[in-house]
Amino acid sequence: MPPTSPTAKLPNAVLSARACYFLRMRTTVELDAEAARAIERLRRERGLGVSQAVNELVHRGLLPRRTERRFRQRTAQLGLRVDVSNVAEALDALEGPTSR
C-alpha cells in the first residue's frame, strides 16, 4: 500500500485554495485610473514594486474601518444667564470690563 500524505483525503477545492494561499499567483487585472494612481503614488513614495504596492493597498482595504464618532457639544450649567442681544454687555459680564 503506497504511503499517503496528510492532505490526500482533502477535497480538490480545499487543496486548490491552499495552493493559492501558499503559492504565488499570477493574474491580469484591469485597474481604473484612480487605483492606478494610488499604486503608482505608493510605489514612488516607498520604492515598492507593483505587486508589493497592490498587496499593501489590498491589505489596507481589508482592514476594518474605524467608525467616526458623532460630534456632541458638551455643556454644563454655570448658573449664569447672559443676554446676548448686546454683545458689549455680554462680554463685560463674561470677561469683565477691563478685558477690552
* Structure confidence by residue, pLDDT tens digits, 50-99: 989 999 999 998 888 888 888 888 888 878 777 778 888 888 877 877 76
- Rounded Cα distance, 34 and 19, in Å: 31
Residue 8's alpha-carbon distances to 5, 12, 13, 66, in angstroms, are 5, 9, 12, 42
pLDDT in tens, 25-49: 777 888 999 999 999 999 999 999 9
For position 92, what pLDDT does the model report? 82
pTM: 0.43
